[in-house]
Chain A
Amino acid sequence: MAAVQGGLVDAVEKKDIKTEPSEDSGGNNNANDGRLLSPPPGSSASAPGGNKPPAGAPEDQQTLLAVLQFLRKNNLAESVEILRREAGLPEDALDLKAGDSAGAGSGGAGGTVDLEGEDASSLLSRVTVSSSAAAQAPTKVTPSEDQPDVNVVLSAYSQQGDPALYGVYYSGLKRFIESVLDCHRAELSQVFYPLFVHMYLELVYNNHENEAKVFFEKFSGDQECYYEDDLRVLSSLTKKEHMRGNETLLDFRTSKFVLRISRDSYQLLKRHLQERQNNQIWNIIQEHLYIDIFDGMPRSKSQIDAMSGSLAGEAKREANKAKVYYGLLKEPEIELPLDDEDEEAENEEGKPKKKKPKKDSMGSKSKKQDPNAPSQTRIPLPELKDSDKLDKIMYMKEATKRIRLGPDNLPSICFYSFLNAYQGLTAVDFTDDSSLIAGGFADSTVRVWSVTPKKLRKVKSAADLNLIDKESDDVLERIMDEKTASESKILYGHSGPVYGISFSPDRNYLLTCSEDGTIRLWSLQTFTCLVGYKGHNYPVWDTQFSPHGYYFISGGHDRVARLWATDHYQPLRMFSGHLADITSTRFHPNSNYVVTGSSDRTIRLWDVLTGNCVRIFTGHKGPIHALAFSPNGKFLASGATDGRVLLWDIGHGLMIGELKGHTDTIYSLKFSRDGEILASGSMDNTVRLWDATKAFDDLETDDFTAATGHIHLQDNSQELLLGTYMSKSTPVIHLHFTRRNLLLAAGAYNP
């Protein structure tokens, strides 16, 4: 049995599990684990935050059993008898009750906060799966797990066992894992970190401060080095009150940490833990970990290290199974005019005109639909206006003059240094045709500069507009005010540092997002603010316009990314699922998908049409700050604070490359116009160029790899590195390839 079901929690199925406790098959336990998942969106309506249990016999049954246990624990034997007789419960139902353990209760987070006072005393004990422990369990252990539907009395989170013995349990497990075969050890060592964190959090949550401290000091040094930051945060968390405001940790506690372990290793672990004395760890594992079992060879340490590092473990295989339309939309065919008198005709068929104008060579050659591309109407997109068609024609003309890049033909790099920014430059963007630069600053201003000698002009005031001749041919020039033309314009409006900035593709609008929680749309015709989009109440870290205009996306501290349209004051889609802030948001070239990188070290790909998360990529060891899609839409590159650039295949959902070289956070990534070169800019003041064609060339994506997610990353970063260019103490925060493949870079000089 390969995959573990990660389905909806089905109340009826819970009951079935109860009656087959000791069936020692991996599948069943996996099923058990699987059903204990946090209810995905769309599950029982009562789950999210609901405080009343859903009506239904199974639920009441459990309630009754819980009450029975409670009475029994308090030695109210007669009451137990009476209740059991009246409720008609079988004698052995108590003993065989399965771990209806914790769901990553959405209610868990909500419920537990209310239950500060209710500690072990008011808890109900439930016996877990293994029958061997049944006898011991009531005396030794009082596990009571959360349920997705919160019934206040039943859902208190109490510890699994004696707090003082946690250290003993952990070292016991350590000893065991150190004693297994080498091939299994790497995989089983994955268990250490989540187990450590959950046990520690449980101790803290149940107010066992001293034990928690001792536990932490003893075992924190054993963890992997890339969890160092998390451990430091944990070390400062010694009381229950500290956890209250920390949403990330609360989510961590209630969600399941995903581990991918091969079947053999899993069997080993299970056998060991189900022995009598190790049962506590088994309970904790069942409660907090989701073990995604696969058939096949155990993974090596390096393979595991490549994929781990995120706050929620790795991604389950089902999470990356949905079909993603990563192809590009068909370009509308626009005929290039032979002379000015010809009107551009846009039609899909390309009807030949009398003069036989040149058909554009950039349009799709075949009329067949790319099977991997979304249909044109999958999401509504704005139609092309005349000005857009003119833009496209310009684009195609420039494309013909584009330099072909390659390992032997590297791009020239033009660096725009912002002087006297006093470390206040927080965001930069270029227009697609590289005519304007916009900078967002920590003093809440936004400045727009013209890169070309052409100055920035705004539209005249109404009074002046009245005086111009509306019928003249150059009316579009006449409406511009020459008197206030300047090289740069300053836009005031935000009340906090501006963290994200994005030009619209038609160069009419500028979007900025800031720490004040709003996203502002500015007009580049009048250089005034048009709209303030309010929705995030917390700092918004990044925003971007869609490549087709009209839509834009924003992500911020509230862990949600929102899709907006310029003419709706509320978001159209909300992408929720990350455990920590969203630090970077990007559109796919076909505008149908959105990728978000977060502080929880995962990258998620969302479908704009449905709002579902279709891919989860783990592997970074630090918050992700840079994302870039390849121009053909198939691949994604990501950069984080760990200094690595990771390459992902979107279709298969796998990591296909790792580019090591940078020594500090990578803040910008950009593919060249045809996707041959990947440029990365980082805080270590360098721009590095990587050979993208070579990196994507040799892919062994056979079925086996896709099925198990085993990746064999070659350590060829050195071969792929084409050049390193140092700047003079200026961190690179933005990169842009012009239409002719000249690389522009921007950063603030930081002496």
Chain B
Amino acid sequence: MSAPKTIPKDAQVMIQILKDMGITEYEPRVINQMLEFTYRYVTTIIEDAKIYATHAKKSSVDADDIKLAIQCRMDQSFTSPPPRDFLLEVARQKNQTPLPLIKPYTGPRLPPDRYCLTAPNYRLKSVQKKVSSSAGRISVPRLSVGAVSSRPSTPTIGTPSVQSVTTKVGTPVSLTGQRFTVQIPPPSQTASTKTTTPSTPAVSNVLINPSLIGSKNILITTNMVSQNSAAESLKRKHEDEDDYDAL
């Protein structure tokens, strides 16, 4: 290197190592990256070895501690693929089962929903609020977003008797982007929301423009229950079922 400033010794060593391993072309940042890796690896090993030495109540770290530290790190970070005999055996077993027949006339051929990434990644909390009087007022919806990736159920707007999240039979495959469905509790006078009010709530769809969340649309359906009984309330459309039509 004909640079006016000298290269530090460890960088020179790294250059030499790269040369010995036959690597002739590399970006200059590779040396820094390798040095950082070396530093991190060595300090990790030595720290681990110190822990093992203190555990064994030794006064100083010796070679056995280092060896143990290296071994443990190997099994943790630098795992290698399974050995060939194991793979051969597993392959033999797997290849014995015949290829499954393909059912005709199905829609998109995807694994069971549990194994897909198509479920919504949120969950609703049930909200129980006491609301005062006037009919048709939309109360502020409570929206809680949780990272639920494995729950197959989608919160639905079920019958008014059920305000908590229900499991829908036949998990919908929502192929459209992310949708947030928020349930607004009917502003009923009774505190307990488990009453079987005969009134069917009315629902209207309000689309909120994609805001901070990118191209996600927030769909808010509101249950507007008139204070009076069922007669005046609008029939709720079962648009949930429609929403979940697979595309």
Contacts and interface: CB of A to CB of B under 8 A. Distances in A.
Task: Say whether A and B bind each other.
Answer: yes
Interface in B184-240: 205, 207, 215, 217, 219, 239
A110 B100 contact: no
Given A247-B84, A461-B176, A232 B100 contact: no
A401 B133 CA distance: 74
A109 B89 CA distance: 14
Contacts of B87: 558-560, 574, 576
B83 A380 contact: no
Contact of A611 (B78, B83, B95, B101): B95
B209 to A, nearest CB: 11
Interface stretch (A17-25, A206-214, A442-450, A563-571): A563-571
Contacts of A576: 84, 87-88, 90-91
A48 B86 contact: yes
Interface in A512-533: 521, 523, 525-526, 528-532
Given A383-B104, A459-B247, A531 B110 contact: yes
B88 A382 contact: no
Contacts of B22: 229, 232
Interface in B90-121: 90-92, 94-95, 97, 99-102, 104, 108-112, 115-118
A245 B70 CA distance: 12
Nearest to B98: A609
Given A48-B85, A48-B89, A558-B81, A573 B104 contact: no
A192 interface: no
B242 interface: yes
B8 interface: no
Nearest to B67: A241
Contact of B215 (A41, A250, A484, A612): A484
A557 interface: yes
A531 B97 CA distance: 23
A41 B205 contact: no
B84 A251 contact: yes
Contacts of A557: 81
Interface size on B, as a range, is 35 or more
Contact of B85 (A109, A466, A565, A572): A109
A567 B90 contact: no
A42 B88 CA distance: 9
B100 A528 contact: no
A569 B176 contact: no
A641 B101 CA distance: 40
A577 interface: yes
B210 to A, nearest CB: 10
Nearest to B82: A558
Interface string A680-692: 0000000000000
Given A379-B99, A530-B118, A107 B205 contact: no
Given A236-B21, A530-B118, A568-B100, A459 B175 contact: yes
A179 B179 CA distance: 80
Contact of B91 (A244, A382, A461, A611): A611
A575 B245 CA distance: 38
A573 B95 contact: yes
A594 to B, nearest CB: 12
Contacts of A466: 205, 239, 242-243
B126 interface: no
Contacts of A579: 84
A565 B74 CA distance: 34
A381 interface: yes
B186 to A, nearest CB: 21
A246 B80 contact: yes
B85 A526 contact: no
Contacts of A463: 179, 205, 207, 217, 219, 243
Contacts of A567: 109-111
Contacts of B4: none
A235 B115 CA distance: 46
A530 B81 CA distance: 27
Nearest to B80: A245
Contacts of A610: 95
Given A48-B88, A531-B111, A576-B84, A462 B99 contact: no
A526 B175 contact: yes
Nearest to A244: B74
Given A461-B177, A558-B81, A568 B111 contact: yes
A201 interface: no
A227 to B, nearest CB: 13
Nearest to B111: A569
B217 to A, nearest CB: 5
A49 interface: yes
A41 B85 CA distance: 9
A54 B33 CA distance: 51
A362 interface: no
B171 interface: no
Contacts of B219: 462-463
A568 B91 CA distance: 17
B80 A41 contact: no
B115 A531 contact: yes
B128 interface: no
Contact of B84 (A106, A245, A530): A106
A480 to B, nearest CB: 11
Contacts of A199: none
A560 B82 CA distance: 10
Contacts of A382: 102, 109
A255 B177 CA distance: 51
Nearest to B70: A241
Nearest to A235: B20
Given A107-B85, A463-B205, A574 B94 contact: yes
Contacts of B243: 462-463, 465-466
Nearest to A246: B80
A402 interface: no
A532 B81 CA distance: 20
Given A49-B85, A247-B80, A461 B179 contact: yes
A559 B90 CA distance: 13
A293 interface: no
A40 B85 CA distance: 9
A488 to B, nearest CB: 15
Nearest to A41: B92
Contacts of B244: 462
Nearest to A378: B99
A611 B97 CA distance: 10
A462 B174 contact: yes
Contacts of B82: 558
B116 A530 contact: yes
A310 B83 CA distance: 20
Nearest to B174: A462
Contacts of A461: 176-177, 179, 217
A508 interface: yes
A569 B74 CA distance: 30
A415 interface: no
A569 B217 contact: no
B94 A573 contact: yes
Interface in B137-167: none
B81 A571 contact: no
Given A109-B85, A462-B174, A380 B99 contact: yes
Contacts of B85: 47-49, 106-107, 109-110
Interface of B: 20-22, 74, 78, 80-92, 94-95, 97, 99-102, 104, 108-112, 115-118, 174-177, 179, 205, 207, 215, 217, 219, 239, 242-245, 247
A-B pairs with lowest CB-CB distance, top 9: A611-B95, A106-B85, A569-B115, A558-B81, A576-B91, A574-B91, A48-B89, A462-B243, A41-B92
11 contacts: A380-B99, A459-B247, A462-B176, A466-B243, A530-B175, A558-B81, A565-B100, A565-B102, A566-B109, A573-B94, A610-B95
Given A48-B86, A49-B85, A611-B94, 18 more contacts: A41-B91, A49-B83, A106-B85, A251-B83, A251-B84, A380-B101, A460-B176, A463-B207, A466-B242, A508-B108, A523-B175, A526-B177, A528-B175, A550-B102, A569-B115, A575-B91, A609-B99, A611-B92
